[in-house]
């Protein structure tokens, strides 16, 4: 759906030339939900603006459904932009229009008739869970509700792609959960492809299946979350997992970091290893989180007993991802 080929973009600022994107190549298949993460100034918003055709790259190509957007004339560019929904970190609604009126605006501008407008706006109010607020004005809504209205407005033209640039910025937990639920529903029920920029790991955990890490305008990592879980050096995914704190206070024969995926693994694997191998398995640090609906745990475990290696190999055979940490007792650990 979206392909970036070697996209670069610089800005002239007071302090000189700033490279916001530096040779970024990226593929986002139709129906995917990609989280673009990275520190402040990494280039996330610039990437979103290049993909939404609000910004033209200095070099490289942005393709939408195979179409090289650099070749579009002004009219086709405008038409293509309309197929892309965009929401920023602020709702930017028209205060003098109701929620329904804000959502309807793009349809009015493109001359869609009243009955079709009403049907479409009604459907989107339902999607964002604000049917009963149709006649409310922005000032009477919470910021989280306003953002949901902005998402509905971005979706009203039935775009295939929705870009959300830092959609949960400055929202409280309830507001964040509401906006993420709406983005998730948009994908599930309308089939839109999602590209979300964020510095909030919970956004990626909740609604993304792919992640791209930018830093200094460069794409450092890109891939499926569950694939990247296997890479102990993946900055993007390691940041999504519970941190492993604490240290072994007693001697351990083996120390390993274990990532467990799915209900069965998280609930049962470590106790079963203990029982099977007569090995004492203790959790030194880590915890449980979720990626989408899937429970994922990361623990640092210590093992004591003659069959510690066999227990670790058995845990790995059951689908756990096992890595020996950099420090700690020596031992060969199944990878």
CB of 70 to ligand ATP, least distance (A): 19
52 binds ligand ATP per the rule CB under 6 A: no
Tell me the window of 11-19, 137-145, 229-237, 298-306 that interacts with ligand ATP (CB under 6 A). Answer: 11-19
Q: Long-range CB contacts (< 8 A, 24+ apart) of 313-321?
A: 314/273, 314/276, 314/277, 315/258, 315/269, 315/270, 315/273, 318/265, 318/269, 319/261, 319/262, 319/265, 320/258, 320/259, 320/260, 320/261, 320/265, 320/269, 321/229, 321/230, 321/258, 321/259, 321/260, 321/261
Q: In this chain, which of 4, 7, 28, 42 binds ligand ATP, going by CB under 6 A?
A: 42
Q: Rule CB under 6 A: is residue 164 a binding residue for ligand ATP?
A: no
CB of 38 to ligand ATP, least distance (A): 5
Q: Does 43 bind ligand ATP (CB under 6 A)?
A: yes
Output the CA angle 197-198-200, nearest 5 degrees: 160
The nearer residue to ligand ATP, 38 or 175, going by C-beta atoms, is 38
Residue 147 makes contact with ligand ATP by CB under 6 A: no
88 lies in the site for ligand ATP, by CB under 6 A:
no
18 binds ligand ATP (CB under 6 A): yes
Residue 166 to residue 290: CA distance in whole angstroms:
21
CB of residue 220 to ligand ATP, shortest distance in Å: 13
Closest approach, Cβ 46 to ligand ATP, in A, equals 3
Among 23, 41, 60, 292, binds ligand ATP (CB under 6 A): 41
Q: Give the integer Cα–Cα distance in Å for 244 and 180.
A: 27
In the bound state with ligand ATP, the residue whose beta carbon lies nearer, of 24 and 259, is: 24
Rg (CA), the chain: 24
Closest CB 45 distance from ligand ATP, rounded Å: 3
Using the contact rule CB under 6 A, the part of the chain among 35-43, 154-162, 170-178, 272-280 near ligand ATP is: 35-43
Rule CB under 6 A: choose which of 7, 20, 100, 308 binds ligand ATP.
20
H helix intervals, the chain: 44-51, 74-81, 99-109, 114-127, 143-155, 173-190, 201-207, 225-228, 235-238, 263-277, 308-317
61 near ligand ATP, judged by CB under 6 A: no
Return all residues near 175 (Cβ < 8 A) that are at least 6 apart.
142, 143, 144, 147, 168
- Interaction between residue 40 and ligand ATP (CB under 6 A): yes
The Cα–Cα gap between 315 and 194 comes to 35
Distance CA 140, CA 98 (A): 10
Site for ligand ATP in 187-226 (CB under 6 A): 199
Instruction: Out of 7, 28, 46, 208, point to the residue binding ligand ATP (CB under 6 A).
Output: 46
Binding site for ligand ATP (CB under 6 A): 11, 13, 18, 20, 38, 40-46, 199
């Amino acid at each position: 759906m979206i392909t970036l080929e070697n996209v670069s973009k610089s800005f002239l600022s007071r302090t000189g030339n700033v490279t916001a994107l530096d040779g970024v190549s990226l593929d986002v298949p139709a129906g995917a939900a990609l989280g673009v993460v990275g520190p402040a100034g990494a280039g996330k918003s610039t990437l979103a603006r290049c993909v939404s055709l609000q910004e033209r790259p200095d070099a490289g190509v942005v393709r939408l459904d195979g179409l090289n957007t650099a070749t579009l004339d002004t009219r086709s560019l405008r038409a293509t932009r309309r197929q892309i929904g965009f929401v920023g970190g602020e709702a930017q609604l028209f205060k003098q229009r109701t929620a329904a009126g804000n959502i309807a605006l793009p349809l009015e501008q493109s001359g869609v008739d009243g009955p079709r407008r009403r049907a479409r706006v009604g459907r989107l109010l339902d999607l964002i869970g604000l049917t009963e607020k149709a006649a409310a004005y922005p000032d009477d809504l919470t910021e989280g509700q306003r953002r949901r209205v902005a998402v509905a407005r971005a979706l009203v033209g039935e775009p295939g792609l929705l870009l959300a640039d830092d959609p949960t910025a400055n929202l409280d937990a309830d507001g964040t959960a509401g906006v993420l639920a709406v983005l998730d529903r948009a994908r599930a029920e309308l089939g839109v492809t999602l590209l979300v920029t964020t510095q909030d790991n919970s956004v990626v955990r909740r609604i993304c299946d792919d992640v791209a890490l930018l830093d200094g305008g460069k794409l450092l990592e890109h891939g499926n979350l569950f694939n990247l879980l296997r890479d102990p050096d993946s900055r993007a995914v390691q940041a999504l997992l519970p941190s492993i704190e604490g240290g072994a206070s007693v001697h351990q024969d083996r120390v390993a970091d274990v990532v467990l995926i799915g209900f069965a693994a998280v609930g049962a694997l470590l106790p079963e290893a203990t029982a099977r191998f007569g090995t004492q398995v203790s959790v030194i640090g880590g915890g449980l989180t979720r990626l989408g609906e899937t429970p994922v745990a990361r623990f640092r475990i210590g093992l004591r007993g003659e069959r510690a290696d066999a227990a670790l190999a058995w845990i790995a055979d059951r689908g756990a991802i096992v890595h020996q940490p950099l420090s700690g007792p020596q031992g060969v650990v199944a990878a």
